């Protein structure tokens, strides 16, 4: 048995509502909600350190959080943000970290699916004829020679 | 090992230590380098994982106090307006540097003569020119010849792609009629020697998995080791020791297991950077040098310079693909590099165009600034920022002031019990005026380039990446620590080759000039070998 802290059942039951409040889905942009990406796998592999923080957040939100309307959940989290900004920032960092690693999310925002190495990116050289005015005006840009 | 005497002992395997080791190796002297950190395995760099941004904020943080590796030493920045950042391992800070690789300008070596401030260097641009060129070849530098802001120079590789970020800002500069040029970058745009080209991953400042970035663990070190230099890692030097004649005779260091060891040597070369070198010199006290080794001038640890750093960010309506490509290397502008009395401050600054953040950085920075809310509206706001930003780093000249110091902390120690450096540093009025000017001009460029939203901030605190001035070079032993070729005025077989020897900082990133100085000092040692101790 590992001694790593884990979320209990009632905490787990609140998670989707919390994740969905922070990053809701957007039909227009075809973006999933944070509750739709694999947060469990993230917690198991990279997010273990975040469990005590999540426990503190979920405990402070209380068991009724999942039953609130979307606007009420937003208001409740805003309250947490104003009362405990450090805790709230850690929560955001954790949720965004998981969300923006999801391969489908990454592709939608224009990134490579997985780790950027070894695939890499293509970047256009850019139009070097833009240098012409600098070259034509070189005397105005000449370095200052010491006496 | 105590009767094992090296001909040359180098302390620190970073930018300067690597260059001096490689250059001296052709003498076939027995050269040993002691480095407190490890070799870094490129497959450990964050870009091998999808969560590279989180790793860059944590275990690969540029701040050693946050990173907190066993191989790091703590730094007390409490009395400093700027926090030191670095990396400790083979390659030194080049492992995490941005690889923006400008040289100091000819005027930078003569600011007293030109502008009546600080001091002139005892050497000049022309002295270093061949070493700049040699260093560009050794490191693998990409750029384009013809920049009128420098005497002629010819980078060995074509420029790094400037992409949409560079093009967009270049149009802004052209609209204003201001200078700009593709950056010299210590990143290879094409395959070079046995290295493959940059893959435009983006986050060079948490290490380059591809080996496209020219950090000295993959440039100088393999060649220096091949030439016979012995590089010993996990060896942390505590102090340099003296013989009865007052010459340096070696060091005391701790190995990986904390054992106290001794390495003797005929010549000792300090290459621990502008904070690490004064730390060890100040910790090397003896009856001859009660205030620290080579410190008869009282200037070891004084005149610490960083560069004042701030940034301007623009958000553009069109997509700029700004997360792609080396974050710190794109284009630059020297429009405000030289003194203009009408501006109300002396000297000037480089404008370094910086590409954009990854998604986590974008979302978190957007949260902090209010530009990207969580909850409803997140996706719309995120999409307006991500890949739509460009930034201008303002890197300004920081003039030397004796009250800006590295001293030994009376309480804080590293894991071997060696006193940690304590930084005492305040920006001068000149630096603050320069920064204000830079931020305003940066905003002007952004608007000329078509940015919809513009914000700026500076000076920024965790920006102590350029560490200079704490063992300054000069001809007069009363006002300098080392002579014009890096030799201590007080101890004839002790040399300093890192950024500590800078007399003034210039207004550009310093790695290229640090390495050119190290190669020049190595050549001076070679030329003077027969009369080194006279
Ligand atoms: C995040 C970051 C970004 C940067 N970006 C740029 C850039 O874009 N362009 C640029 O020009 N510069 C940049 N720099 C700065 C540049 O990397 C440094 O100026 C340069 O590496 C300094 O070279 P150095 O030889 O003086 O010291 P370093 O490269 O710092 O090497 C010093 C070495 O000495 C070792 N050492 C220290 N004390 C001891 C001891 N007691 N015993 C044994 N070993 C010791 C350290 O472990 C380290 O490896 C950046 C730096 C950082 C940290
Ligand atoms: S952008 Fe190029 S240099 Fe930077 S990390 Fe990627 S491959 Fe390396």
Q: What is the ipTM of this complex?
A: 0.96
Model pTM?
0.97
> Alpha-carbon torsion B132, B133, B139, B142, what sign?
positive
Contact B114 A146 (CB under 8 A): yes
Q: State the nearest Cα–Cα gap between B394 and chain A, in angstroms.
A: 19
Residue among B312, B203, B103 nearest A115 (CA): B203
- C-alpha distances out from residue A55 to A9, A11, A21, A47, A80, Å: 11, 7, 17, 13, 14
* Secondary structure class of B412 (helix, strand, coil): strand
pLDDT band of B50, cuts 50, 70, 90: confident
* Average pLDDT of the residues in B497-524: 98
* Average pLDDT of the residues in B262-286: 98
- Strands of the sheet with B349-354, listed across from one edge: B181-182, B331-333, B349-354, B389-396, B308-315, B453-457
Pair type for strands B331-333 and B349-354: antiparallel
- Best residue among B46, B91, B190, B208 to mutate for probing ligand 2's pocket (most ligand atoms within 8 Å of CB) is B208
pLDDT at residue B2, rounded to an integer: 53
The answer to whether the CB of B349 falls within 8 A of the CB of B149 is no
Closest Cα to atom 4 of ligand 2: B204
| Closest residue in B to A105 (Cα–Cα) | B359
CA of A41 to the centre of ligand 1 (A): 38
Lowest mean pLDDT among A2-6, A85-89, B108-112, B369-373: A2-6
Tokens describing residue B318? 């069109």
Q: State the nearest Cα–Cα gap between B173 and chain A, in angstroms.
A: 9
Lowest mean pLDDT among B161-165, B202-206, B226-230: B202-206
**Percentage with pLDDT > 70 across chain B:** 99
Contact A146 B209 (CB under 8 A): no
In chain B, residues with a C-beta closer than 8 Å to the C-beta of A131 are: 144, 170, 180-182
Q: Please give the backbone phi and psi of residue B30, each rounded to the nearest 5 degrees, phi first.
A: -85, 110
pLDDT at residue A2, rounded to an integer: 61
Lowest mean pLDDT among B1-10, B196-205, B396-405, B459-468: B1-10
- B57: Cβ contacts below 8 Å, ≥ 6 apart: none
Identify the burial level of A7 via C-beta atoms within 10 angstroms of its C-beta, where 0-12 means exposed, 13-18 middle and 19 or more buried.
middle
A and B: number of Cβ contacts within 8 A: 171
The answer to whether the CB of A49 falls within 8 A of the CB of B327 is no
Cβ(B34) – ligand 1 distance below 6 Å = yes
pLDDT band of B1, cuts 50, 70, 90: very low
Residue for token pair 């703590």: B74
- Best residue among B501, B511, B514, B516 to mutate for probing ligand 1's pocket (most ligand atoms within 8 Å of CB) is B511
| Closest residue in B to A24 (Cα–Cα) | B375
* Average pLDDT of the residues in B316-336: 97
**Which listed ligand is nearest to B212 at the C-alpha?**
2
Residue segments in chain A with a per-residue pLDDT below the cut of 70: 1-2
- Residue B506 region, left (φ>0) first, then alpha (ψ -120 to 50), else beta? left
For chain B, the domains span 5-42+67-356+388-531
Pair type for strands B331-333 and B248-254: unpaired
Q: Which atom of ligand 1 is nearest to the CA of B12?
A: 34
Neighbours of B433 (CB within 10 A): 16
- Cα–Cα distance, B455 to B457 (Å, whole number): 7
Closest Cα to atom 2 of ligand 2: B198
DSSP B285: -
B319 at interface of A, judged by CB pairs closer than 8 A: yes
Give the up-direction half-sphere exposure of residue B445: CA atoms within 13 A in the CB hemisphere: 36
Contact B210 A111 (CB under 8 A): no
Cβ(B73) – ligand 2 distance below 6 Å = no
- Cα–Cα distance, B265 to B271 (Å, whole number): 15
Pick the residue of A74, A130, A140 with the most B CBs within 10 A to test the interface with B by mutation.
A130
pLDDT band of B534, cuts 50, 70, 90: confident
* Secondary structure class of A61 (helix, strand, coil): helix
- Residue B473 region, left (φ>0) first, then alpha (ψ -120 to 50), else beta? beta
Residue among B280, B274, B209 nearest B248 (CA): B280
- C-alpha distances out from residue B119 to B1, B113, B123, B399, B401, Å: 44, 8, 12, 9, 11
- B117: Cβ contacts below 8 Å, ≥ 6 apart: B111, B346, B347, B399
- B443: Cβ contacts below 8 Å, ≥ 6 apart: B312, B454, B456
- B454: Cβ contacts below 8 Å, ≥ 6 apart: B312, B313, B314, B315, B443, B446, B447
**Which listed ligand is nearest to B201 at the C-alpha?**
2
In chain B, residues with a C-beta closer than 8 Å to the C-beta of A111 are: 323, 359
The answer to whether the CB of B168 falls within 8 A of the CB of A89 is no
- Cα–Cα distance, B410 to B312 (Å, whole number): 38
* Average pLDDT of the residues in B246-262: 98
- B51: Cβ contacts below 8 Å, ≥ 6 apart: A46, A97, A101
CA of A124 to the centre of ligand 2 (A): 15
Judge whether residue B45 has pLDDT over 60. yes
Judge whether residue B429 has pLDDT over 90. yes
Average pLDDT, chain B: 97
Residues in chain A: 147
Judge whether residue B406 has pLDDT over 70. yes
CA B362 to chain centre: 26
Judge whether residue B393 has pLDDT over 90. yes
Residue for token pair 């007293």: B112
Q: State the nearest Cα–Cα gap between A3 and chain B, in angstroms.
A: 23
B47 at interface of A, judged by CB pairs closer than 8 A: yes
**Percentage with pLDDT > 90 across chain B:** 96
Q: Prior bond to B2 cis, omega within 30?
A: no
| Cross-strand pairs, B250 | B241, B264
- Cα–Cα distance, B169 to B180 (Å, whole number): 9
Contact B199 A31 (CB under 8 A): no
pLDDT band of B448, cuts 50, 70, 90: very high
CA of B84 to the centre of ligand 1 (A): 11
CA B334 to chain centre: 19
CATH code for the domain defined by B5-42+67-356+388-531: 3.50.50.60
Cβ(B202) – ligand 2 distance below 6 Å = yes
Out of A46, A93, A115, the one facing B47 most closely (by C-beta) is: A115
- B447: Cβ contacts below 8 Å, ≥ 6 apart: B172, B314, B454
Residue among B407, B84, B33 nearest B253 (CA): B33
pLDDT digits (tens, 9 = 90+) for B4-22: 999 999 999 999 999 999 9
Q: State the nearest Cα–Cα gap between A27 and chain B, in angstroms.
A: 11
CA of B515 to the centre of ligand 1 (A): 11
The answer to whether the CB of B252 falls within 8 A of the CB of B261 is yes
Pair type for strands B389-396 and B308-315: antiparallel
């Amino acid at each position: 048995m590992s001694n790593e802290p884990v979320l209990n059942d009632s905490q787990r039951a609140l998670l989707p509502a919390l994740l969905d409040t922070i990053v809701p889905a957007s039909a227009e942009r075809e973006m999933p909600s944070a509750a739709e990406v694999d947060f469990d796998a993230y917690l198991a592999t990279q997010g273990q350190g975040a469990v005590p923080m999540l426990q503190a957040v979920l405990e402070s939100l209380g068991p009724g959080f999942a039953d609130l309307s979307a606007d009420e959940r937003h208001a409740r989290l805003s309250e947490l943000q104003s009362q405990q900004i450090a805790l709230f920032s850690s929560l955001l960092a954790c949720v965004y970290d998981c969300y923006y690693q999801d391969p489908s999310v990454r592709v939608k925002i224009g990134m490579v699916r997985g780790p950027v190495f070894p695939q890499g990116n293509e970047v256009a050289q850019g139009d070097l004829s833009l240098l012409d005015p600098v070259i034509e005006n070189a005397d105005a840009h000449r370095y200052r020679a010491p006496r | 090992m105590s009767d094992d005497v090296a001909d040359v002992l180098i302390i620190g395997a970073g930018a300067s230590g690597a260059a001096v080791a490689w250059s001296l190796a052709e003498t076939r002297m027995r050269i040993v380098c002691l480095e407190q950190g490890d070799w870094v395995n490129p497959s450990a760099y964050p870009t091998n994982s999808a969560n590279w941004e989180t790793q860059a904020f944590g275990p690969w943080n540029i701040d050693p106090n946050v990173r907190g590796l066993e191989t790091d030493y703590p730094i007390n920045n409490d009395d400093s307006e700027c926090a030191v950042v670095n990396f400790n391992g083979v390659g030194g800070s080049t492992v995490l540097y941005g690889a923006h690789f400008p040289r100091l300008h000819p005027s930078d070596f003569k600011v007293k003569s030109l502008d009546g401030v600080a001091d002139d260097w005892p050497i000049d641009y022309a002295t270093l020119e061949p070493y700049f060129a040699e260093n560009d070849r050794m490191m693998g530098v990409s750029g384009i010849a013809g920049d009128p802001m420098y005497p002629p120079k010819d980078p060995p590789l074509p420029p790094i792609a400037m992409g949409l970020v560079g093009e967009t800002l270049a149009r802004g500069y052209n609209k204003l009629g201001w200078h700009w040029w593709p950056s010299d970058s210590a990143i290879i745009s094409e395959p070079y020697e046995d290295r493959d080209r940059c893959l435009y991953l983006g986050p060079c400042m948490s290490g380059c998995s591809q080996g496209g970035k020219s950090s000295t663990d993959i440039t100088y070190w393999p060649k220096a080791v091949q030439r016979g230099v012995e590089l010993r890692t996990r060896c942390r030097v505590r102090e340099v020791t003296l013989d009865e004649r007052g010459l340096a005779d070696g060091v005391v260091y701790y190995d990986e297991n904390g054992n106290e060891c001794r390495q003797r040597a005929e010549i000792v070369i300090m290459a621990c950077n502008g904070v690490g070198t004064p730390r060890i010199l100040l910790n090397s006290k003896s009856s001859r040098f009660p205030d620290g080794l080579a410190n008869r001038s009282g200037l070891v640890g004084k005149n610490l310079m960083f560069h004042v750093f701030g940034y301007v960010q623009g958000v553009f309506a069109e997509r700029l693909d700004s997360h792609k490509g080396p974050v710190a290397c794109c284009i630059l502008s020297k429009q405000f590099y030289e003194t203009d009395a009408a501006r109300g401050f002396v000297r000037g600054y480089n404008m370094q165009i910086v590409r954009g953040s990854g998604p986590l950085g974008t979302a978190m920075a957007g949260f902090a600034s209010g530009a990207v809310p969580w909850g409803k509206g997140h996706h719309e706001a995120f999409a307006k920022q991500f890949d739509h930003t460009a930034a201008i780093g303002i890197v300004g000249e920081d003039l030397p002031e004796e009250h800006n110091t590295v001293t030994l902390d009376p309480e804080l120690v590293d894991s071997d019990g060696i006193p940690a450096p304590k930084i005492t540093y305040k920006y001068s009025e000149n630096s603050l005026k320069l920064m204000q000017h830079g931020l305003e001009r940066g905003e002007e460029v952004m608007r000329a380039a078509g940015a919809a939203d513009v914000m700026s901030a500076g000076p920024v605190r965790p920006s102590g990446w350029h560490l200079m001035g704490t063992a300054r070079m000069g001809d007069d032993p009363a006002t300098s620590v080392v002579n014009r070729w890096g030799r201590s005025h007080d101890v004839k077989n002790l040399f300093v080759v890192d950024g500590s020897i800078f007399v003034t900082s210039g207004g550009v990133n310093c790695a290229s000039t640090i390495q050119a100085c190290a190669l020049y000092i190595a050549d001076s040692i070679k030329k003077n070998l027969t009369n080194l101790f006279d």
